[in-house]
A and B are shown apart, each in its own frame.
Chain A
Amino acid sequence: MNERALGVPEEAERRLAELKGTAEHAGIFTSDLSVNEFLLVKEAGFDPVGLVLGSSIYHIGLQSPRFGQSQEITNLSQAMYEARELAMTRMEAEADDLGADGVVGVRLDINFYEFGQHSAEFIAIGTAVKGHGGSYRNAAGKPFTSDLSGQDFWTLLQSGYLPLGLVMGTCVYHVGRRSVSGWLGGLGQNQELPNFTQGLYQARELAMARMQAEATEHQAEGIVGVQLKEESHLWGSHTIEFFAVGTAVRPIGGSTPEMAKPALVLDLGG
């Protein structure tokens, strides 16, 4: 991957080169794994290679919603998706540079500084890892990504599965004022608000469907660790982003091996 063209700065290339090792010194690894995760990732047959990072400061164009309507604000959905994609792509490029098989423990963050309410920094950061023998990259020949912790990564492999990539879908939804004033008419009555319910239901479905579409592209067998987050960010309570994220997986070697049974314990200690 051509990192500079993708927006990875020169400073990153220097850092990654240093990680890989030069004539003067052997390579070094960096990781944001805790010690427990470090042990488990190694037990799973992978070595941490280096911290990889991608970021983008993105301005989200305004699309004035028509106040009466409850609808998706497609402009915002696209922006949120695009910004995260930029960050993820750069992080993957860094992992590729290191010759890694994948990235574990990916953390996706959004930071709002004093840019005003329409711009934010989107970050993707995780630990790139390399496996002992075998090929672990995904179908596109790129390093896999996953937000699984070291513990979950180890457990996933024990279950006979490999991560393919972090998959995500987003839908920014605006709840129209007409819907709100529609409530006022029915004040004092116990009742469902069908339009409102319908809208939110649809928004969630859209986010999940988009995430699933990404998994299909990866030729995944399934998705694990799905989280559905709902956030208004800085848009006020009438606008909510529904964000679905999970890790697409495939069976190792095509068939699911016998998994060791866990022992049962009763923990009497504190």
Chain B
Amino acid sequence: MLADQALDRLQRGPDRSAGHREFTSDLSIEELAAVEEAGFEPRELVGGTCVFRVGWQFMGWTEAREVDVLSTAMYESRERAMQRLVSEAARVGADGVVGVHLDIDFDHWGSGLGEFTALGTAVRHRDRPGSMRTPTGEIFTSDLSGQDLWMLLRTGYRPLGLVMGCCVYHYSAQGISQWFGNLNQNAELPNLTSAFYTARELAMDRMQKEALGLGAAGVVGVTVSQQSHVWGGHTLEFLAIGTAVRAMETATAHDPTRMVRHLDA
């Protein structure tokens, strides 16, 4: 019985002969099983932090346009957090990092300061360490869960890296009223429409360019969102983020998906 085998092992106590290093992870039990089934072993809970000063002054524009310095600052800060996460993963000889959460906080450090933190579990291929790094030898990163990683590999693709594009846009309050024109009409607001539409497309395009730079076949699990953060309602960051993937050279054949009907639900 499983309970007996488990308790026997506990009673045997620490196995000091095994030279391997103990791992740490933020993997759930299901993820641990999936990651191991996919041929990996967890190595370390890794992270990267970037605390930055957010500074920008509204210059009294009467139109909507990108705030280049903020776009750059947000992008740079995230990039640094991710690079540091990758450095920590490199130190433990990882192939990649799964389950990356990239969080932003503006309260923690006090007003005027923002913090990006990336956290995930570095994993290594069990039988062929290093074989699952990217074609250029980089450590892969992804926000995919352990189960997603297993499923992705099964589909014949491997993760390359988390890719993102952002675009911070500001629209002026004064500008809006002059666009309204006849207030009793239904009408599209063409200037604002074009501005917001363009801002999102820019974010998506920048993400796409990152993926192209990695030699990806595509990007999965993309989320496109917008947030004001601490800048007040007239400034929005549009963010597109996803995992770049690449087709594997040798994909293993597998059975097609089966449909089941649960009797217990």
Q: Measuring CB to CB, which residues of chain A are less than 8 angstroms from any residue of chain B?
A: 7-12, 14-15, 18-19, 25, 28-36, 38-40, 42-43, 48, 51, 53-63, 75, 78-79, 82-83, 86, 90, 111, 113-116, 118-119, 121, 125, 154-155, 158, 260, 262-268
Contact = CB atoms under 8 A, between A and B. Distances in A.
Interface in B190-236: 190, 192-194, 196-198, 200-202, 204-205, 207-209, 211-212, 216-224, 226, 233-234, 236
A39 B151 contact: yes
A160 to B, nearest CB: 14
Interface residues of B, number: 57
Interface secondary structure of B, over-half rule: mixed
B180 interface: yes
B161 interface: no
Given A9-B194, A53-B197, A57-B192, 8 more contacts: A32-B222, A34-B148, A42-B155, A53-B201, A57-B196, A62-B184, A83-B188, A262-B258
A61 B155 contact: no
B126 to A, nearest CB: 21
Interface of B: 144, 148, 151-152, 154-155, 173, 176, 180, 182-190, 192-194, 196-198, 200-202, 204-205, 207-209, 211-212, 216-224, 226, 233-234, 236, 242, 256-264
Contacts of B180: 59, 119
13 contacts: A14-B205, A15-B208, A30-B207, A30-B218, A32-B221, A35-B221, A38-B220, A53-B197, A53-B200, A58-B188, A59-B187, A60-B186, A155-B259
A121 B226 CA distance: 12
Contact of B193 (A7, A35, A60, A118): A7
A151 to B, nearest CB: 10
Contact of A116 (B151, B176, B202, B217): B176
A215 B126 CA distance: 53
Given A11-B205, A36-B151, A61 B222 contact: no
Contact of A9 (B183, B197, B260): B197
B224 A125 contact: yes
Given A59-B188, A62-B183, A264-B263, A35 B155 contact: yes
Contacts of A18: 205, 208-209, 212
